[in-house]
Amino acid sequence: MNVSALSFGASSLGGIFRNVKEADCVRTVRTALDLGINFMDVSPYYGLTTAETILGRCLKGIARDRYYLATKCGRYGADAKDFDFSARRVTSSVNESLGRLGTDYVDIIQVHDVEFGDIEQIVDETIPALLRVKDCGKARFVGITGLPLCMFTQIVERLPNDTVNTILSYCHYALNDTSLLEIVPTLQCRGVGIINASPLSMGLLSLRGAPGWHPAPAEIKQRCRLAAEHCQRHGTDIVKLAMQFAVSEPSIATTLFGTANPKNLSQNVAWIAEPIDGELLTEVHEILQPIRNLTWPQGRPENNQQDNSASKASILSI
């Protein structure tokens, strides 16, 4: 898969950040394709199937060879009861997603937020089920997604090479956190493609600041706010700097960002074509140094344990 440096995260189409109009969604997706963005990622969890449904409508009539499409399975809501990594459920989930997306196959089927599952089940049941989906021609590749970096290395190291083809990591390659780089050698030697998401750290890196539901501790939010204000004083939006920084790492295949606004999408594409302000980048990194690589726990406690093969990112308790 020869993917664009920037990719489209379709969670925004599910209205999880704000109410959106379907006409705006269509314009945004069509603008993305026209600007050369060729990889789109979605999940049945986003908007409780709404994002998949809307994305399917947006792509209707578009030649299938113009884009790569990824979706997920295993997570269907926000509560513990809404996770189901059983072979039966993930297999049916793929079929349901294909129907909503209006396609016969996805390019990548991903286990969604593996840290909420039992690692033994994911290795021994979930991924083998998705390999059977792949053998049926309903997916070309199999991937895993999540927040704790240690889960990626623990899963790929338990499986033969070419079993897990991609990982999708979020909030771990951005201005405030580059800990994703620490597991890159392990992934590269196994031929695993790296997808980076949330280059704005789920809204931390913006003047507006993180939304109320954001799990980051106050210390992280405060430092990111200072960095955003510093950029503003220098006549630059921190979003621009963050996007430019995110796509500059050659070991990362693509960076996902989400919007349902075609103007914002066009602006981001234009920004990454400009040279980065090295002096401002250094200043922002200095501001963010006290919280560099600090993160937060998510999922089962045992799935947040760092080991020698995983990132040494520190976890801040909430």
Residues noted as catalytic? 46
Amino acid at 155: I
> What is the residue-wise DSSP string for 147-192?
S-HHHHHHHHHTS-TTSS-EEEEESSSBTTB-GGGGGHHHHHHTT-
User: CA-CA-CA-CA torsion for 301, 303, 305, 309, nearest 10 degrees?
Assistant: 180
Maximum CA pair distance of the chain? 55
Distance CA 40, CA 10 (A): 7
Q: Which residue, 255, 275, 278, is CA-closest to 39?
A: 255
Give CA torsion, residues 148, 175, 52, 39, to 10 deg: -110
d(CA 197, CA 199): 6
SS (H, E, C) 26-52: HHHHHHHHHCCCCEEECCCCCCCCHHH
Quote the DSSP letter at residue 290.
G
- Taking Cα atoms as reference points, which of 19, 13, 38, 15 lies closest to residue 100? 13
